[in-house]
Amino acid sequence: MSEIKLFCREMKKMGESLNVRKALFLDRDGVINHDPGDYTKSLAEFTVLPGVIDTLKVWHDLGYLLIVVTNQGGLAKGLYEEADVHAMHQY
């Protein structure tokens, strides 16, 4: 049996024995909020795209965990602070 098939079989067994939840992984900029192209640097620049909140509520109500993944290159470049990112994520 190939390693991939073995891995898949073992993952299926784990899923049957664990309380597994569905999850939706979402990128932040351009998916949840408007991406201006030159970094969203502050809460004042953070604009949620139309329909996103209602759509996320539907997925949440269907039992999905909503997980936001984001690569904040502007943070690494010193264009804004970690506190600015936290403020946007708490919004």
Residues 47, 50, 54: CA angle, nearest 5 degrees: 110
Instruction: Establish whether 27 is a catalytic residue.
Output: yes
Q: Please pick, among 27, 38, 54, 84, the residue that the annotation labels catalytic.
A: 27
Q: Please pick, among 29, 38, 54, 84, the residue that the annotation labels catalytic.
A: 29
Instruction: Establish whether 54 is a catalytic residue.
Output: no
Instruction: Decide if 80 contacts 43 (C-beta within 8 A).
Output: no
Active site residues per annotation? 27, 29
